[in-house]
Amino acid sequence: MQLTRHSDYALRLLIHLGRTGDRLVPIASVAAEQDISATHLMKIANGLAHAGMLQAVRGRHGGVRLARDPASINLGDVLDLTEPRCPMVDCTGCRLARGCDLPGVLDEARRAFMDVVRRYTLADVLRQRGGLP
The CATH code belonging to domain 5-128 is 1.10.10.10
Q: What is the pLDDT of residue 128?
A: 66
- Measure the CA–CA gap between 94 and 105, rounded to whole angstroms: 16
* Domain map (residue ranges) of the chain: 5-128
pLDDT at 53: 97
CB atoms within 10 A of CB 82: 20
pLDDT along the chain (133 residues), means of 10: 91 96 94 95 96 92 94 97 83 84 90 95 83 48
What does the alpha-carbon distance between residue 122 and residue 92 come to, in Å, rounded to a whole number?
A: 38
